Structure 1
Amino acid sequence: MRNSSVWIVMVFSLLACSDDDKTKRIEIKLLGTWQLSEVYSDPGDGSGYFTSIDSEKILTFLSSGTINSNA
């Protein structure tokens, strides 16, 4: 009986698999150089807000997947 249960679970597990190749991918284009100009402050309840800041922080997103920062 236990052997039959194992086979039934295995068959249902294989049938539950789907083909993820049909999933559409969305590309987000962040390539380029970005400067930090605002920060988001949120106490954890969703009532946060953006505050403008003076910052020299610069991020560069490269097509190779790397990120360079000056700070």
Structure 2
Amino acid sequence: MQKSIIIIIALIGILFSSCKSDDVNPNNTLIGNWKLVAILVDPGDGSGTFMPIESDKTITFKKNNIITSNGNLCDLSIDADNPTLGTYSFSEMTFNSADCTDPNYNYSFEQNGDTLIVYYPCIESCEAKYAKQ
């Protein structure tokens, strides 16, 4: 009888250890819409700060590693008049797009809670800040 109980407990333990807790997806908080709220362009002396802007530009991260925007993903533009799409890697925190001048360039990004920063290739620092919608 004790062996049966031990075997049942062991099987239950194996069952629970093999299950993922709701298939926790580390980029779950990245999925969704992000609105452009500020840009940073450093003048070359390291004194650049984010400046709030008015823009309708958004970025959307989809579950299938697709990223879309109602504006240009490839530059710091605040315009929402040039829809583009690409793919992203959450593990590498990068995206790229065939719509860019260099479709192989990996744009890096960083997420901290409800804030997303996209880094663009500039001589000095230039970044876009997005807020989760």
Q: TM-score, normalised by structure 2?
A: 0.30
CA deviation map 1:19-60 (0-9, x unaligned)? xxxxxxxx5542110000100121244221110110010110
Match of 1:35 in 2: 35
Q: 2-side partners of 1:44 and 1:64: how far apart? A: 38
Q: Which amino acid aligns with 2:52?
A: S
Q: Would you tell me which structure has more helix in proportion to its own residues?
A: 1
Match of 1:67 in 2: 67
Decide which structure has the larger Cα Rg and report it.
Answer: 1
Q: 2-side partners of 1:30 and 1:64: how far apart? A: 12
**Any gaps of 5 or more consecutive residues in structure 2?**
1-25, 72-133
Q: CA RMSD in A?
A: 1.7
Q: Which 4+ stretches in 1 moved above 2 angstroms?
A: 43-46
User: 3-state DSSP class of the match of 1:36?
Assistant: strand
Aligned pairs, how many? 45
**Aligned residues: percent identity?**
44
